[in-house]
Structures are given as C-alpha cells and as structure tokens.
C-alpha cells in the first residue's frame, strides 16, 4: 500500500499567503466601494435640478426674425410702407404695452387691440382694417425659427430633467410656433399665461405650475432673457434663476446664474 504524504507548509508561509490574499480582496472591495460612491455622487449632482422652466421668445425661439418677417408681409399685404422707422414706432408701443401687461395694469386683449392702433396713429396710417392684428398673428404663427444651438441644448437637457416652456405669448401663436420648431417631443409641457389666467412674473403663475406638476423649489430653475418677467418671476416663486444675456446688458436683478451663450446651460445643469 502506497502512502501519499502532503508537503508540510511552515505556519509563517501560510500566514503570509493568507495576508496577501486578504489584501487583494480588500483592494478589490475598496475599488468597488469607491466606484459606487462616485457614481452616486455624480447622480446626486445631476439631480440638483429635476425641473427646468425655460422661456420661449428670445431665449430659444428667434422671435425677432419671426416678428420682422411677419410685420413686413402683413404691412405689404395691406399696401402699407414698412421700414426700420415703422418698426421702431411699432416696437416702442408694443414693448410699453407688454410691460404694462407684466405689471398687471392691462389685459393681453388690450395689447392686441392697441399696439397697431397706436402705431398707425403715430405714423398717420388711416383707415387700416381691424383685421390687421389677426392677419399679423397668422403670419407670426408660421415661424418656428430657433436661436443658434437652442435645439441641441433642449434635446440634451431633456435627457437630464423635465423641461417645460413658460411663456406670456399669445396661446394660438406660441403653440403653432413650438410645433414648427420640432421641440415638442422633448418637452414635458407648455405653460402659456393666456391659458392660466396669470402671467410671469406673478407668483400665482408659478404656483399654478407647481400645483400641476408638483415641482419642489430646491430642484427647480427658470431660464429666460427677461429680467422683469423671467428672473423676477423666479424670485417671486422662490426658485433658482438663470438670466440668458447674449448682449451683455446691465443686470438689475439678483440671479443665481448669468449666461451669455445658451450652450453654457449644459455646464450649469449637469
């Protein structure tokens, strides 16, 4: 009968092997835990803003181009001269009326009734049919022009958070322009003041949205080009604000962030 003998391992060697094995096991566990920690940290940072409220005109939609084209076509359709001077007069009256609307002094209907009437009175354009505003709105609704890089930014942001449009524009016009822009598949919703009964910057406008979608103040931000409407609205609603200021204007409101290129949002909203 053959007897097989096992080699005798010195106790110190055995201890050494056990220590080496334990060391590598601990290193593997440590690497795993560190990877898990940093993955969770990045996820938490990325979730700081779960709700993004973003203005439409002159923030992502190129309203100036749309407006100029629509004015030119409508004035010419009525046989009226249209040039830079005419635009300047219209723009002055239009801006003043929209400001009064933001302040709650007039209704949106009054804007639409008065802006061309005031313009025509100053320019001495007489007997212009009352259908001018309606025809202008129809022209305006055809334009889905977007500002440079805005489309790509919205598409990317939609992967990170819920994106909503917040606008004071005319409901039928804004809905049509947003449809034509191709953005709707990337938006969770659109809130138009005309359909709500309150407008930016009024706190009630934001409280309506909050009730509808259930956002939390700490995880919500508003982005827009208007200090008086978007930024003041964010302040009134107690949410973070990002002023889009491509022309380096004077800042008269406290903002959480200020950007000059819409692509900067991708760095802020990681």
Average pLDDT over residues 132-160: 97
Catalytic member of 55, 162, 225, 240: 55
Q: What is the pLDDT of residues 205-244, one digit of tens each?
A: 999 999 999 999 999 999 999 999 999 999 999 999 999 9
Q: Which class would CATH give 48-62+145-268?
A: alpha beta
**CATH code 3.40.50.1000 region(s) in the chain:** 48-62+145-268
Average pLDDT over residues 40-57: 73
Average pLDDT over residues 23-42: 50
Report the alpha-carbon distance of residue 88 to residue 113 in Å, rounded: 19
The pLDDT, as a whole number, for residue 11 is: 55
Q: Which CATH number fits domain 64-140: 1.10.150.240, 1.20.1250.20, 3.40.50.720, 3.30.930.10?
A: 1.10.150.240
**Angle between helix 108-123 and 84-102 (nearest 10):** 150
Across the chain, mean pLDDT equals 89
Q: What is the largest CA-CA distance in the chain?
A: 127
- Determine if residue 127 is left, alpha or beta; phi over 0 gives left, psi from -120 to 50 gives alpha, anything else beta: left
What is residue 8's three-state secondary structure?
coil
Reported as a pLDDT band with limits 50, 70 and 90, residue 37 is: very low
CA-nearest of 170, 157, 179, 184 to 51 is: 157
58 is catalytic: no
**Angle between helix 84-102 and 63-77 (nearest 10):** 120
The pLDDT, as a whole number, for residue 270 is: 84
Report the alpha-carbon distance of residue 240 to residue 221 in Å, rounded: 5
**CATH code 1.10.150.240 region(s) in the chain:** 64-140
Average pLDDT over residues 139-154: 96
Reported as a pLDDT band with limits 50, 70 and 90, residue 45 is: very low
What is residue 57's three-state secondary structure?
strand
**Angle between helix 171-181 and 132-140 (nearest 10):** 20
Average pLDDT over residues 100-128: 96
Q: Residue 20 pLDDT > 70, yes or no?
A: no
**Angle between helix 132-140 and 63-77 (nearest 10):** 140
């Amino acid at each position: 009968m053959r007897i097989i003998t096992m080699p005798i391992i010195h106790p110190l060697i055995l201890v050494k092997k056990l220590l080496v094995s334990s060391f590598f096991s601990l290193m593997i566990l440590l690497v795993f835990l560190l990877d898990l920690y940093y993955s969770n940290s990045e996820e938490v940072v990325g979730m700081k803003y779960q709700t993004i409220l973003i203005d439409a005109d002159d923030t992502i939609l190129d309203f100036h181009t749309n407006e100029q084209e629509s004015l030119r076509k409508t004035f010419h359709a009525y046989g009226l001269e249209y040039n830079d001077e005419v635009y300047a007069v219209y723009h002055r009256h239009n801006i003043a009326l929209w400001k009064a609307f933001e302040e709650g002094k007039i209704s949106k209907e009054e804007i639409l009734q008065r802006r061309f009437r005031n313009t025509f009175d100053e320019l001495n354009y007489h007997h212009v049919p009352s259908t001018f505003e309606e025809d202008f709105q129809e022209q305006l609704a055809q334009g889905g022009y977007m500002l440079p890089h805005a489309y790509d930014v919205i598409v990317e942001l939609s992967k990170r958070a819920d994106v909503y449009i917040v606008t004071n524009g005319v409901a039928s016009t804004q809905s049509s322009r947003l449809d034509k822009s191709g953005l709707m598949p990337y938006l969770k919703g659109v809130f138009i003041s005309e359909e709500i009964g309150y407008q930016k910057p009024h706190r009630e406008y934001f409280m309506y949205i909050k009730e509808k979608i259930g956002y939390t103040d700490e995880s919500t931000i508003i982005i827009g080009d208007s200090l008086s409407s978007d930024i003041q609205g964010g302040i009134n609603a107690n949410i973070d604000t990002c002023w889009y200021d491509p022309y380096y204007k004077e800042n008269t409101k406290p903002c959480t962030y200020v950007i000059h290129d819409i692509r900067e949002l991708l760095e802020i909203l990681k």
